[in-house]
Amino acid sequence: MSAATIAAGAAAGAVACIASAWRTWTVSEPFPVAVSAHPEAAAPVRATRRHRKRRAAARSDEVPQFLDLLAAGSTAGLSAEVSFRRAAGCLRGPLGADLDDVMRSVDLGVPWREAIDEFVERAGDLDLSRMAAVLARTESLGVSLRDATRELAMTVREARRASTLERARTAPVRMLFPLVFLILPAFLLLTVVPVLITTVRSID
């Protein structure tokens, strides 16, 4: 067996072990958890959790568009409730589906502000909480819904832009682990180890 073959096998094994450790290290659990005796029983729970996170992220992404639609409805002379209903009907993602459920509750007799507050409390989204506060303020103080929602939409977009830039700045730091523990060891195994093996054999 040649030195290159031995080095390649060693590199593959090292990369596989380190990759397995990397996957374990990047699990989203904040603290170590006990491993179930039946791993297949925990798989649906993890899948459901991932689905909920993806849905919450998709719902949050629709908030600025929904605020713009609210502002457009108010500009057209619609009331806050009608603007809310029309804006919800224009969305096609998770937020639109959730707001359709809210409107169905309103149609069944639940006050629309109460239905919105209950939905916002369940969702636990900061931007949706701000939207509910804007709606309450426009009703109680007579503030223009158009101006308030446009201002909130701009604020939400600026905050998300700043968050995206912050994640981009931390990307090089996150790349250090795979670079040092995955790429560099494989590079050394493929370049240095064959030379060492050849040198030892020549000395022998």
Tell me, what's the pLDDT at 41?
Answer: 52
Return the pLDDT at 68: 86
Residue 115 lies in a domain: yes
Does pLDDT of 59 surpass 50? Answer: yes
Question: Does some domain include residue 191?
Answer: no
Confidence (pLDDT) at 39: 53
In angstroms, the CA 69 to CA 88 distance is 9
Tell me if 116 is assigned to some domain: yes
To the nearest 10 degrees (0 to 180), the angle between helices 63-75 and 126-141 is 20
Average pLDDT for residues 168-174, to the nearest whole number? 83
Q: How does pLDDT run across 12-38, given as a tens digit for each residue?
A: 555 455 545 444 444 444 444 444 445
pLDDT band at 85 (very low <50, low <70, confident <90, very high): confident
How long is the chain? 204
Which residue has 């993806």 as its token pair? 54
Strands (E), 94-195: none
Residue 21 in domain: no
* pLDDT one-digit tens code per residue, 96-123: 888 888 889 888 988 888 888 898 888 8
Measured distance CA(28)–CA(50) in Å, rounded: 10
Residue 81 domain flag: yes
Mean pLDDT of 130-136: 84
Q: Is the model more confident about 155 or about 143?
A: 155
Q: Residue 54: CA atoms inside 13 Å, Cβ hemisphere, count?
A: 6
> Within 10 A of 131 (CB to CB), how many other CB atoms are there?
23
Q: What percent of the chain has pLDDT over 90?
A: 0
Q: Residue 106 belongs to what domain range?
A: 59-162
Q: What is the pTM of this model?
A: 0.59
pLDDT of residue 20: 54
| Average pLDDT of span 169-194 | 82
pLDDT score, position 28: 42
**42 vs 149, more confident:** 149
Query: 140 lies in a domain?
Result: yes
Residues ≥6 apart with Cβ < 8 Å to 155: 130
Is 80 a member of any domain? yes
CA-based nearest residue to 95, from 61, 122, 71? 61
Domain tally, the chain: 1
Please say if the pLDDT value at position 80 is more than 50: yes
**pLDDT interval class at 2 (50, 70, 90):** low
Mean pLDDT of the chain, nearest integer: 76
Give domain status of residue 135, yes or no: yes
